[in-house]
């Protein structure tokens, strides 16, 4: 079968791999679309410390069931349209015991610690397969990347009385904007790319700020009457935005960190204490986040073209990844169509 492999940093190619066969408890999937994630870009650039080469990337999945192993419930059938929860969980660590499976100590994500989904076929445990015949193949490929932002908003306990600022309007930030809007919050989107900010407005942001061209603090003072946003979502993964999140969030506010900064960050602890802030991380997503995203896609009239920057064939993936690595700021989501 055909697969896409990151052979080493800066090198991607289409390769041939053996067709997988489902073992007991597994389902064979024929891939329809697989999205490139920021973690895949990091792998390509040689910046992902969790990856060993060569690696098949990809964990944003749209597929149909092609085959079923033994010991799989009768509710699964060949031809069903599905997406996949791409994380493992051990069931033994402290996170798993609290049912926070997304933060499992021993998690292995498809395409990162183990081989991913950028191939014509994959096998996965049936427990990780989510069926939905009402969603299109394209919508199913958008489920997982949107869940990460949904989960961050859940962690931030956002309600309709909150003003939420989202740093970084890529795919993950977009999910946070959508979820905050669904909860009735006032949303402020911050980025340095005007095209992403326009998408953010379409998704529900009431205010947009280009922090490259506008004074962030002054704009927030006007929008929030000097109070600052009650919740800040850091989805940019930049030392500058990490510091700005602490500085700009309201007193007694919450800061939720999704992005990985590329370098260490020094903080003054003064504002943490004076503002009595709640600062938390947000990793991956839980089953309830997947349910929420799928419900949103079923019930809302979302124009998926807002989120999908490009759809390419497997043969074009290496050149597309190269172009993305050279100009990452303009891309929301690249899908590979199998």
Residue 268 and residue 161 share a domain: yes
Residue 62 and residue 126 share a domain: yes
Distance CA 191, CA 211 (A): 6
Q: Identify the pLDDT of residue 49.
A: 85
Residue 11 and residue 68 share a domain: yes
Residue 253 and residue 200 share a domain: yes
pLDDT of 274 higher than 80 = yes
Residue 213 and residue 324 share a domain: no
Q: Is residue 295, in this structure, part of any structural domain at all?
A: no
Residue 105 and residue 228 share a domain: no
Of 263, 281, 299, the residue that ends a domain is 281
Summarize pLDDT for 79-114 with one digit per residue, the tens: 999 999 999 999 999 999 999 999 999 999 999 999
Residue 316 and residue 266 share a domain: no
> Band of the pLDDT at 328, cuts 50, 70, 90?
confident
The DSSP string of 261-297 is PSS-----SHHHHHTT-EEEE--S--HHHHHHHHHHH
Q: Which of 185, 132, 170 is nearest to 292 (CA)?
A: 132
**pTM, two decimal places:** 0.95
Residue 188 and residue 210 share a domain: yes
Summarize pLDDT for 116-152 with one digit per residue, the tens: 999 999 999 999 999 999 999 999 999 999 999 999 9
- How many folded domains does the chain comprise? 2
For the chain, what is the mean pLDDT?
96
What CATH number does residue 156 fall under? 3.40.50.720
Q: Where are the alpha helices (DSSP H) in 224-269?
A: 239-248
Largest CA distance in the chain: 62
pLDDT of 262 higher than 80 = no
- Angstrom CA distances, 255 to 104, 184, 210, 220, 230, stand at 22, 18, 20, 16, 9
- Residue 121: half-sphere exposure toward Cβ, Cα within 13 Å: 16
Distance CA 265, CA 249 (A): 18
pLDDT of 180 higher than 90 = yes
Average pLDDT over residues 249-260: 96
- Residue numbers of the domain that contains 103: 2-133+308-337
pLDDT of 48 higher than 90 = no
Residue 159 and residue 118 share a domain: no
Contacts of 231 (CB under 8 A, 6+ apart): 156, 158, 162, 163, 164, 165, 180, 185, 249, 253, 254, 255, 256
Distance CA 325, CA 332 (A): 13
Q: Is residue 289, in this structure, part of any structural domain at all?
A: no
Q: Check the CA dihedral 86-89-95-99 and report its sign.
A: positive
248, 217 Cβ separation under 8 angstroms: yes
Distance CA 252, CA 304 (A): 36
Q: Is residue 238, in this structure, part of any structural domain at all?
A: yes
Q: Is residue 41, in this structure, part of any structural domain at all?
A: yes
110-145 exposure pattern, b = at least 16 Cβ within 10 A, e = fewer: bbbbebbbbbbbbbbbbebbbebeebebbbbbbbbb
329, 309 Cβ separation under 8 angstroms: no
Distance CA 311, CA 246 (A): 37
Residue 121 and residue 32 share a domain: yes
């Amino acid at each position: 079968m055909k697969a896409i492999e990151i052979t080493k940093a800066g090198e991607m190619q289409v390769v041939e791999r053996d067709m997988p066969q489902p073992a007991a408890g597994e389902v064979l999937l024929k891939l329809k679309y697989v999205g490139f994630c920021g973690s895949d870009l990091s792998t390509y650039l040689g910046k992902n410390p969790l990856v060993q080469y060569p690696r098949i990337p990809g964990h944003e999945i749209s597929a149909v069931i092609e085959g079923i192993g033994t010991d799989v419930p009768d509710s699964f059938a060949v031809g069903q349209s599905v997406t996949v929860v791409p994380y493992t969980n051990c069931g033994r660590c402290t996170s798993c015991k609290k049912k926070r499976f997304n933060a499992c100590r021993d998690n292995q994500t498809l395409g990162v610690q183990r081989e991913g989904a950028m191939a014509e076929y994959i096998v996965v445990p049936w427990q990780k397969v989510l069926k939905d015949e009402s969603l299109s193949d394209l919508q199913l490929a958008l489920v997982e990347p949107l869940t990460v932002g949904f989960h961050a908003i859940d962690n931030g306990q956002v309600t309709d009385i909150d003003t939420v600022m989202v740093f970084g309007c890529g795919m993950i930030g977009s999910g946070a904007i959508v979820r905050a809007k669904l909860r009735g919050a006032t949303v402020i989107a911050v980025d340095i790319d005007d095209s992403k900010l326009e998408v953010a407005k379409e998704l529900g942001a009431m205010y947009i700020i280009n922090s490259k061209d506008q004074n962030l603090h002054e704009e927030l003072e006007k929008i929030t009457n000097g109070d600052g946003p009650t919740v800040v979502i850091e989805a940019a993964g930049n030392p500058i935005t990490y510091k700005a999140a602490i500085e700009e969030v309201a007193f007694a506010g919450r800061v939720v960190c999704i992005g990985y900064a590329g370098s260490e960050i020094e903080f003054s602890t003064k504002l943490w204490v004076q503002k009595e802030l709640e600062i938390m991380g947000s990793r991956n997503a839980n089953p309830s986040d997947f349910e929420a995203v799928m419900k949103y896609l079923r019930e809302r009239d979302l124009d998926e073209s807002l989120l999908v920057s490009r759809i390419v064939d497997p043969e074009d993936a290496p050149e597309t990844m190269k172009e993305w690595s050279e100009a990452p700021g303009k891309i929301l989501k690249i899908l590979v169509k199998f």
